[in-house]
Every structure is written in structure tokens, then in C-alpha cells.
Amino acid sequence: MSTRRWLDTVLRARQAQEDVAAQTLAAAHRDAREAIEWHEAETERVESMTAPDHSTRQAFQAAAAARHAAAATLAAAAHRVEFAETRVAADAHELAEAARARRTVEKLDERETAARNSALGQAAQRDLDEIATTRHAAAKKAASS
């Protein structure tokens, strides 16, 4: 397999890897937004809860249990936000690494293309030099005859 075909294959693979990383990051951002919205809703719910009813023991215990459950749900929402933000940071790092890997292959491809173009240019210049030398020799021979 030629270097050119090998680089094209690797470049396509790196681009696909970067695309997957970008999609994963977008999903992580969506999850983080949902987690933040859930946390905000739970915060509002806990803040809107009234003081426990002291009229009966059962009412007081029910209100206290409800506040305890709401606080636990709020804590779970806070943990989900924390997890989502960590995932966004990790996925952003993965995307940066994928982009760096793709760019490395692109630079290698650019160098290989430049080297090939240089070699082609040198070969063309040698051909032109040979033609010029042959014509000059023929013209000199014709002038001396």
C-alpha cells in the first residue's frame, strides 16, 4: 500500500474518531443541561415547602418525611450535575485529543504531498534542462557546420 493511500485511510479514521468525540460531547452537554434544570426544579420545590404542620403527630411526621425525601432528591440532583460536569470536561478533553490526532495526520499528509510535489518539480526541471541542453547542443552543431 502506498504512503498516500495509507495516510488517506488513517486521516478518514481520525476524522471519524473526532466526529464521534464531538457527538459524545454534544450528548454530554445535553445531559448537563437536563441535570441543571432538574437541580433547579428540585431547589425550587424544597424552597417552596412550608413548615411542618404541628397540629397532629402524624401530620408533623408526614411533613418531615416529605421534606427529608425532597432534600434527598435535591442531593441526588446536585450529584447528577456534578457527574455531568465531570463528563463534559472529560469528553471535551477527548475531543481535543481526537482533533490533535487528526491534525497530526493532516500535517504528515501535507508534508508527504509537498515532498511528492517537490520530487515531481525536480523531475520536470531535469527534463527541461535535458531538452534545453539537447537543443543548445543541436543549435551549436548546426551553427558550426
Range of the domain at 29: 3-144
Quick one: pLDDT band at residue 3, thresholds 50, 70, 90? low
Q: In terms of Cα–Cα distance, which of 35, 32, 41, 46 is closest to 78?
A: 35
Number of domains in the chain: 1
Cell of 111: 508534508
- Say whether pTM exceeds 0.85: no
State pLDDT tens for residues 59-77. Answer: 888 888 889 999 999 999 9
State pLDDT tens for residues 87-128. Answer: 999 999 999 999 999 999 999 989 988 998 999 999 989 988
Distance of alpha carbon 107 from its chain centroid, rounded?
18
CA atoms of 73 and 86, how far apart (whole Å) = 20
DSSP assignment string, 65-96? HHHHHHHHHHHHHHHHHHHHHHHHHHHHHHHH
The CATH number covering residue 40 comes to 1.10.287
Quick one: pLDDT band at residue 135, thresholds 50, 70, 90? confident
